[in-house]
A and B are shown apart, each in its own frame.
Chain A
Amino acid sequence: MIKMLTACTREIDYVDAAVDELLAQLDLGRNQLKNSVGIVHCTEDFLDSGVVKALKGKLTFDLVGCTSNGTAARGEFGQLLLTLSVLTSDDVCFAAGISGEVGGDAAGAVKELYGRIEAELAEKPKLLMPFTPFSPLVGGDEFVAEMDKASGGAAIFGTRAYGTTIDFTNFYTIYNGQYSTDKLVIVAFGGNIVPEFLVAYVSENRVFKQKAIITAADKNVLHKVNNMSAIDYFISLGIIEKGDMRGLITMPVLLGLNDGTPVLMRTAFSPADREGSILFCGETPVGATLGVAIMDADDVVSSAENILREALEKAQGRSLLIYSCAARSFALGAESDAELKKIVECMDGRPESYQVTYSGGEICPVFNKEGKMFNRFNNNILIICIL
């Protein structure tokens, strides 16, 4: 059984005050159990100011996490907020580590890191919790595939780093006070843990009826749809214009893999070349059916509320780790905190502890009709792990 202690602070500049605030909320002396790991999410401001490093200095356990553009815990929510969840348990053990610079070699980085943490755990992990870098060279799918291979199919639940810079730089993974734009961090869980997973997709009635086939792609780069360039296809739908892809990033792209598994959600990122290809936040397999949806604020908030209520029925007092795609927040418009606010409202008065964070890519197991598990990297969804 895992207990989740949560803390949060908005104090960025006065490091000691921030750390004191956090420690006071945790009351580790009274609450900490045999094994612990801390998960921290914040903007890069907290890293730059030294709050995270100072915090690690006061903790006796590993501190992992990544930057984000919004987080919530303990009744507080917002962009300029640091949330900390300390997972502590007597019968679940944790092993955390950080890789070297990934560069373009996800396989090498994963293999090496996994080897270390498995050795530390001294057993095959039941759950891996990765915090992957927002790398232009390695997509989330690749990290997931390598972790899947290395672990022999353990459940993988985690997130990709995100942040608040408009140019998608300065998105960091965090490990024990260090932070990097190109290093993978993983926490492995062993022992008495039976996690449960839930996923909120876009509502079906928000999906455009036009469906197409991906006819050419190369990992994250979508070249052709229905044998026309990707950009031309989306222009033909009327949702972008020539030379202006704005808006597409806010529209979930749904890929049907025709293998009995749930739909794969993607976010279009930017033009990839001059030939009309588009860079996506995850792989776009050739042969998949492609559909486009529109999400507005109501969709985002209601889907979050619905999936959370479903999770709470299952949780029965257990703790919740929640990641919601940053792209969902784009649809909220001026009320950019509406989703976090709704989650906080729903959790008000509940016994379950929670930490919810915006994500640059959601990693979560999904199940086919036969109940077989597939670890997947998605965008534009909300994922929940009941610990």
Chain B
Amino acid sequence: MANTQQSPPQLTTLEELEAENANLRVEIKRLNRQIKSMNFTMEQNKNAYVARSRVSATVLAEKSRQEKYLNLLLENSPDTIILLDRNGCFAYCTAAFLNLLNVSNFGLIDGAKFTEVFNDFGGTDFSKRVGCTLKRALESRKTIRDEETIDVDGKGSRRIYAIHITPMFDEANTFDGTMVLFHDTTDAVLAKRQAEDANSAKSRFLASMSHEIRTPMNAIIGMSDLMRVDNLDNLQQRYFADIKKMAKALLQIINDILDFSKIEAGKLELIPADFHLAELYDNICSMSKFTANAKELEFSSSIDASLPAAVYGDAVRFRQIFTNITNNAIKYTRKGSVSLALRRHAQGGREYIEFSVKDTGIGIKQEDMPKLFEVFSQLDLKKNKGIVGTGLGLSITKNLVSMMGGELKVESEYGKGSVFTVLLPLIEGDPDNIDRSNELARVMAKDDATVLVVDDNHINITVALGLLATHNISGNAADSGEQAIEKVKGKQYDIVFMDHMMPGMDGIEATKRIRGIKGEFYKRLPIIALTANAVTGARDTFIESGMNDFISKPIEPAQLNSVLAKWLPPEKIMFVNDTVKPTADAAQDVCDDGAALAFLDNAMLIDKLETLNDACFYGIDGNAAKMAAQLEDSVDDERIGGYFQEISRFVRELEYEKATEKIAEVLAILKKEQQKM
């Protein structure tokens, strides 16, 4: 058999052998290099493999740990979290939702359309609403928040849920499903409602207290203003003056307490308007000078001429701040001086009104400084024994200054004196906008002005009618909302003064009903709120209910004058150049012509008698006497003329009870005749 294998070439020479050897050595080197390279690569691979294995194990462990925590988080979450896939089918939900549904396992709702599940959960309407919200969320590509009240167990235990619906998008920004979060806000909502109720209760308390306290104060101060003093001896006049002074002091204390309560409840409101700063300051200086001089203290004041004439701010509170600080200085200074200064001050890029009061009083110890503005506290009680005060003034002042964005500073040296400095933001006002209504000349009504006073408190009616009498107004009275409506229907009044808080139908309800009476007249009839409710928002409440204006009790004569000037028909009033004298005497000054009335028909007679009745009932002497005399002279009817003579006599003798009895008798006759007609 032929040998097919090729045999290696025969190396016959040494050179050939050496060459072959060299080649083989090169080949061996190459192979060794290859092996070395492979070893190197394998070693690298081993490292890389170990790294990859460890990392994979670590990543898996970490993933598992995260999943575990995520599951714990979701399973223990009190909120319901639902994931819907892009078809709106359930992909996941927390155990909280399963519990609400009373479903034991997610598998039972996995893949179910959300409408099916939500129909069971909150009803079909709820399901539809959620569907609409889902749609809105998807269209806006944002989370939409909604609120639902759901009867979760079907037994009426309704819970309030905040629902957040969030569309989810993948890395390619394609819609990938929705997350629905139900957060039970029932407790928070209830707590909020309770807080709001508590707040309302506070407001109602304040309103009530304001009313309860101011109502009798209105009577005391009003009647003392109306009372004649020319028939009193000197001692009685002095006693009377003290009563009036203490009544006003008591009113100030009550106002302070109410202000403090309002501040505590966050109900104190600033009512800024344009006002004359120098006039206000002058007024305070005048009063303070008088008080200081009474204590034999020197008094001085100065005002920076560069301050604008008109500023914008709450004049009442400005006055309150300036007065509090000044009165304190005078109160705590036994000898020496008190000086006031009003300046312009720039600080931090802003302009301020700087009001400072410097005294040579007892001063304040440094350790007492922090207590200076605490409520109900008076410093150095031993030294200040005998100095009265509620301890609220400075606290109220500080709060007011703070509300206005100002600053209150005190420098003091014990035994030497103090300087109180108030900085209030300076906002220039418009002099043309200043309300000068309290500087009006006195309004006097002509005889045909008709006014109705509505108040459930007879003393308040007496005070109001008495004050109206000083403007020559014989007012009618009604002591309830229902009576007010009847009277308004029966007579076209020029103004109605309506008390706010009355039992049964209150002033607001009565006003709404009056506005609802058919006829343009009732829509235009000026109805003025007469209220002891001086809390924030009261004014807005009155205006919104249909009232035109309001004045607060105790009635300030100047404010009443201003309201009458504004709301009485111009043709029924005249102005008298006189200071507003809140006494019954003033009623005698003007329009007391005593002339006989023109011919009176039955209706007019009834009207006049009813007015006279009110004047007698409420003891408005001047009006009663005048009207009784006029009626006696005017009525020439044999049937009833005798009645008027008797009525007139009783009124002259101040026997109002008998007068009103007679008035009732003649009214009965006239009304019977009226009915027959």
Contact = CB atoms under 8 A, between A and B. Distances in A.
B293 interface: no
A238 B36 contact: no
B37 A250 contact: no
A239 B51 CA distance: 7
A80 B55 contact: no
Interface residue SS majority, chain A? loop
Given A13-B26, A164-B37, A166-B39, A239 B58 contact: yes
A382 B30 CA distance: 30
Interface in B34-49: 34, 36-37, 39-41, 43-49
Given A80-B37, A237-B58, A238-B58, A333 B45 contact: yes
Contact of A247 (B34, B36, B37, B54): B54
Contact of A330 (B34, B36, B47): B47
B58 A12 contact: no
B54 A238 contact: yes
A246 B51 contact: yes
A13 B54 contact: no
A331 B43 CA distance: 12
A250 to B, nearest CB: 4
A332 B34 CA distance: 19
B37 to A, nearest CB: 5
Return the 6 tightest CB-CB contacts between A and B, nearest first.
A247-B51, A238-B58, A247-B50, A250-B51, A246-B50, A13-B26
B33 interface: yes
A45 B33 contact: yes
A12 B55 contact: no
Contacts of A12: 29-30, 33
B48 A333 contact: yes
A336 interface: yes
Contacts of A333: 45, 48-49
Given A247-B48, A249-B47, A333-B48, 7 more contacts: A43-B33, A247-B52, A247-B55, A249-B51, A250-B48, A329-B44, A336-B41
A164 B40 contact: yes
B61 A336 contact: no
B47 A247 contact: yes
A241 interface: yes
A21 to B, nearest CB: 16
Interface of B: 26, 29-30, 33-34, 36-37, 39-41, 43-55, 57-58, 61-62
A248 B55 CA distance: 10
B46 to A, nearest CB: 7
A347 B523 CA distance: 93
A251 B33 contact: no
Nearest to B26: A13
A324 to B, nearest CB: 14
Nearest to A13: B26
Contacts of A336: 41, 44-45
A9 interface: no
6 contacts: A45-B33, A238-B62, A239-B54, A241-B54, A329-B44, A332-B48
A246 B46 contact: yes
A315 interface: no
Interface in A244-295: 244, 246-251, 294
A39 to B, nearest CB: 22
Interface residue SS majority, chain B? helix
A334 interface: yes
A99 interface: no
Contacts of A241: 54
B611 to A, nearest CB: 90
B47 A246 contact: yes
Given A45-B33, A164-B36, A166-B43, A330 B48 contact: yes
A79 interface: yes
A364 to B, nearest CB: 24
A181 interface: no
A240 B54 contact: yes
Nearest to B32: A45
B527 to A, nearest CB: 71
Contacts of B40: 69, 79, 164-166
A69 B39 CA distance: 12
Contacts of B26: 13-14
A80 B33 contact: yes
A251 B51 contact: yes
A170 to B, nearest CB: 11
A62 interface: no
A296 interface: yes
Contact of B48 (A45, A237, A240, A331): A331
A45 B32 CA distance: 11
Contact of A334 (B33, B45, B47): B45
Contacts of B48: 247, 250, 330-333
Contacts of B54: 238-241, 247
Contacts of A247: 47-48, 50-55
Contacts of B39: 166
A357 to B, nearest CB: 16
A337 to B, nearest CB: 9
B65 to A, nearest CB: 11
Contact of A238 (B37, B41, B57): B57
B37 A79 contact: yes
A324 B354 CA distance: 75
A73 B41 CA distance: 21
Interface string A330-369: 1111101000000000000000000000000000000000
Interface string A70-88: 0000000001100000000
Contacts of B57: 238
Contact of B52 (A80, A164, A296): A296
A177 B296 CA distance: 115
Contacts of B52: 247, 294, 296
Contacts of A165: 40
Contacts of A164: 36-37, 40
Nearest to A296: B52
Contacts of B36: 164
Contacts of B34: 80
B44 to A, nearest CB: 5
Contacts of B37: 79-80, 164
A299 to B, nearest CB: 12
A249 B45 CA distance: 12
A79 B41 CA distance: 10
Contact of B47 (A45, A80, A250): A250
Contacts of B49: 333
Nearest to B27: A13
Interface in A216-252: 237-241, 244, 246-251
A93 B39 CA distance: 42
A13 B61 contact: no
Contacts of A248: 51
A69 B51 CA distance: 21
Nearest to A334: B45
The residue in A165, A249, A250 that gathers the most chain B C-beta atoms within 10 A of its C-beta is A250
Nearest to B30: A13
Nearest to B60: A238
A329 to B, nearest CB: 7
A249 B41 CA distance: 14
Contacts of A294: 51-52, 55
B40 to A, nearest CB: 5
A330 B44 contact: yes
A238 B39 CA distance: 27
Interface string A143-186: 00000000000000000000011100000000000000000000
Contact of A251 (B41, B45, B55): B55
